């Protein structure tokens, strides 16, 4: 993993070293803080934005009117599976939030 990704997750933070221009990083001491930060800043917003994206895909597929084609059937099935998975994840988010 790149240091930038770790910093985004809150697993490392930048530290200043006097007299040196290089970037130095220090690991976060508590793993629970990393998990909590990842959940609140990355996972939770992505789960909430996914519902709008799934709705948009469904609308686009209806506009293309691919009901009779093999590709249209495949896409409808795939979107239905994604929506089902999203519902399960959406129910789990509040539970995870209470645990963290």
pTM here?
0.63
DSSP character at residue 75: H
Q: What is the per-residue pLDDT across 1-30, written as a single tens digit (0 to 9) for each?
A: 588 888 888 889 899 999 988 989 999 888
SS3 24: strand
Q: Which two tokens stand for residue 64?
A: 């293309």
Q: Cβ neighbours of residue 27 under 8 Å, at least 6 residues apart?
A: 11, 12
Q: What is the per-residue pLDDT across 28-77, written as a single tens digit (0 to 9) for each?
A: 888 888 888 888 888 888 988 898 898 888 888 877 765 567 777 888 88
Q: What integer pLDDT is reported at residue 60 of this predicted model? A: 83
C-beta separation of 79 from 53 below 8 A: no
């Amino acid at each position: 993993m790149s240091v930038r990704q770790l910093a985004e997750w809150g697993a490392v933070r930048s530290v200043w070293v006097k007299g040196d221009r290089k970037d130095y990083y220090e690991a976060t001491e508590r793993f629970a803080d990393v998990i909590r930060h990842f959940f609140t800043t990355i996972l939770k917003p992505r789960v909430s934005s996914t519902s709008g994206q799934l709705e948009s895909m469904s609308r686009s597929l209806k506009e293309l009117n691919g009901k009779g084609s093999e590709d249209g059937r495949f896409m409808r099935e795939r979107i239905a599976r994604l929506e089902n998975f999203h519902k399960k994840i959406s129910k789990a988010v509040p539970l995870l939030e209470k645990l963290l």
